[in-house]
Structure 1
Amino acid sequence: MIKGVMFDFSGTLFRSEPTEDWLRAVVSEAGHDMGEDELAACGARLEEVGAMPGGPPPPRLPPSLTGLWRERDLSAERHRAAYTALARQASLPSPELADALYDRHRMPAAWRPYPDTESTLKELRRRGISVAVVSNIGWDIRPVFRDHGVDHLVTACLLSYEQGTQKPDPVLFQAACDRLDLSPDDVLMVGDDPTADGGAAALGCKVHLVDHLPVDRRLAALSAVLTLLD
């Protein structure tokens, strides 16, 4: 019987804003004058190099960034260094925009909950099922939950950069189960990455995968999780 649920953050409960919106917000704040065509072209380059945290991973990595990328979620410093280095590969109109883009993605306004995030978390709370968020990340995502009014629905938040280990390491999932005071075989892991999130299966957790899609293209994937608990 499932008594607790672990959720991934990015691509599962929340999704980062579209790349052009991300870039537009930063360019506007910095006072740069970019036409829509130029902005679209720069946004496409950022996507091509995988520079947006929460977006598609880089299809190719410069050899100098391979090690940093592999360990990016183990510390705040490495996370920033990896993503700002990728952003600089996108021929930005101004070099300082790389850090501004990174700062923007850490703001709650840059993240959007999936349509059924709040309703699913509320239903789990109503049923007495504990919830943990387990994320490979390099910054504190708790303000995102607070800003969107769902922080009170999460019992524990286990972040790789705070724990010093990252999914799929079973140690991170075990720490989450311990925080929920539950045995792994009583816990369901919900995520979008079969490798990272699938690591929970090594402990005996059940695993359910959802598609990492834009918020307007994934309406009820989390609601479907509730049927697994019936």
Structure 2
Amino acid sequence: MIRGVMFDFSGTLLRIESMEEWLDAGLAATGIRLSDEEFRETAGRLTEYGALPGGSAPRRIPPHLAALWQERDVSTDQHRAAYGGLALAAGLPAPELAQALYDRHMSPAAWRPYPDTVPTLRELRRRGVPVAVVSNIGWDLRPVFRTHGLDELVDVYVLSYELGVQKPDPLMFRTSCDLLGLPPGEVLMVGDDRTADGGAAALGCPVHFVDHLPVDRRPHGLTPLLDRLG
């Protein structure tokens, strides 16, 4: 019987804005102006290098960032260095844009809940099912949840940079289950990454996967999990 639920953050409950919106916001913050062609080329390179946290995975990782990339979520410094390094490697019109872009992705305005996030969390709360957010991340996402009215629907946050380990390390899931006061076999893990989130299965947690799609292309990814609770 499932009595608690753990959710991943990015690509599960909320999704980062598009590459174009992200770049546009960074340019506005720095006052840098690009022609339409320069904008398209810069956005394309940033996409290739996977420089947008929460966006598409890198298609190219510079050798000097490869090791850092593998453990980017274990600390704030490593997270910033990894993504800032990718942005710079992609080639920016000015180096200060890398800082502006990194700062932008931590802004609540850069994140949007999936259409069924609020209804699903409210239904879990109505049923008395406790909820944890278990995320590989290098910064405090709580302000994002507060801004979007989600914080009151979450009981526990387990963030990789605070523990110094990242999913699929069992410590992430074990800590969450302990904080929820439930055995792993009674806590469902919901996420979009088969490797990272699927690691919960090693503890005996049931797992439910969703697709990491733009918000307007995934209206009902979370709703089916309610059927698993009976």
Same fold, TM-score > 0.5, yes or no:
yes
The equivalent residue for 1:92 is 92
Whichever residue aligns with residue 83 of structure 2, its letter is Y
**Aligned 8 A contact 2:30 2:96 in 1:** no
The equivalent residue for 1:51 is 51
| Alignment partners' CA distance in 2, 1:75 and 1:146 | 22
| Alignment partners' CA distance in 1, 2:76 and 2:91 | 24
Cα deviation code 1:75-99 (max 9, x no counterpart):
0000000000000112111111011
Task: Give the deviation of 1:26 after TM superposition.
Answer: 1.0
Cα deviation code 1:206-230 (max 9, x no counterpart):
0010000000000011111111111
Give 1:109-128 correspondences, 5 Å limit: 109-128=109-128
Task: Give the deviation of 1:32 after TM superposition.
Answer: 1.4
CA RMSD of aligned residues (A): 0.8
- 1:194 equivalent to 2:194? Answer yes
State the secondary structure of the residue aligned to 1:74.
coil
| Alignment partners' CA distance in 1, 2:136 and 2:56 | 15
| Alignment partners' CA distance in 2, 1:179 and 1:93 | 46
Whichever residue aligns with residue 166 of structure 2, its letter is Q
Cα deviation code 1:6-49 (max 9, x no counterpart):
00000000000000000001101211122333212211110011
The equivalent residue for 2:160 is 160
TM-score (norm 1): 0.98
Task: Give the deviation of 1:71 after TM superposition.
Answer: 1.2
Task: Give the deviation of 1:69 after TM superposition.
Answer: 0.7
Identity of aligned residues (%): 63
The equivalent residue for 1:83 is 83
The equivalent residue for 2:26 is 26
State the secondary structure of the residue aligned to 2:91.
coil
State the secondary structure of the residue aligned to 1:189.
strand
State the secondary structure of the residue aligned to 1:89.
helix
Q: Which runs of 5+ in 2 are unaligned?
A: none
The equivalent residue for 1:102 is 102
